[in-house]
């Protein structure tokens, strides 16, 4: 599916709809170059799950967990850009953080990729003019659940 997200308001609105659809164990895999809008979409999803206030970019910490009651579901926001090898995702304890949580992953391919998981929604962001287009592809668990 190709979804136009022409401005920040569209990005925020769709991110919040995605948040409403999320179930524990889901992965939102965000692909796209620097400045494509990965963190912007992650922020909208995290806000949609109930988090109030700032959402730091996890580019330095790599993993940023959020826990109820501040959010509806436990979630982990990760930016794997700085990983040199997929094994490093396990070394920093990714599996422990993921237990029962939603994973929002920037640069998922640096962690080995998650597209083989049925709960993975792969979103590739492309810059078009002033806005973005999202190319969205869901695993089996996402059938009939992807908001538009």
Compute how many other C-beta atoms are within 10 angstroms of the C-beta atom of residue 27.
25
Q: With beta carbons less than 8 A apart as the criterion, state whether 117 and 38 touch.
A: no
38 binds Mg ion (CB under 5 A): yes
Residues 84-123 that bind ligand ADP (CB under 6 A): 106
Least gap, CB of 69 to Mg ion (angstroms): 27
Segment near Mg ion (CB under 5 A); pick from 31-39, 47-55, 94-102, 112-120 = 31-39
31 binds ligand ADP (CB under 6 A): no
Asked if the peptide bond before residue 145 counts as cis, ω within 30 degrees of 0, the response is no
39 binds Mg ion (CB under 5 A): yes
39 binds ligand ADP (CB under 6 A): yes
Compute how many other C-beta atoms are within 10 angstroms of the C-beta atom of residue 7.
12
- Which run of H or E residues covers position 52? none
The residues facing 87 across adjacent strands are none
What are the tokens at 109? 């391919």
In the complex, the residues that contact Mg ion under the rule CB under 5 A are: 38-39
In the complex, the residues that contact ligand ADP under the rule CB under 6 A are: 5, 7-8, 10-11, 32, 34-40, 106, 130-132
């Amino acid at each position: 599916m190709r979804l136009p997200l022409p401005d920040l308001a569209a990005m925020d609105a769709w991110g919040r709809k995605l948040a409403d659809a999320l179930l524990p164990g889901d992965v939102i895999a965000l692909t796209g170059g620097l400045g494509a809008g990965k963190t912007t979409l992650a922020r909208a999803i995290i806000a949609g799950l109930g988090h109030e206030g700032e959402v730091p970019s996890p580019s330095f910490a790599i993993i940023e967990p959020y826990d109820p009651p501040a959010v509806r579901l436990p979630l982990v926001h990760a930016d794997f850009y700085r990983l040199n090898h997929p094994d490093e995702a396990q070394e920093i304890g990714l599996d422990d953080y993921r237990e029962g949580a939603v994973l929002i992953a920037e640069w998922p391919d640096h962690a080995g990729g998650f597209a083989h998981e049925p709960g993975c929604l792969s979103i590739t962001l492309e810059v078009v003019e002033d806005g973005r287009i999202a190319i969205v592809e869901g695993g089996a668990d996402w059938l009939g659940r992807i908001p538009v």
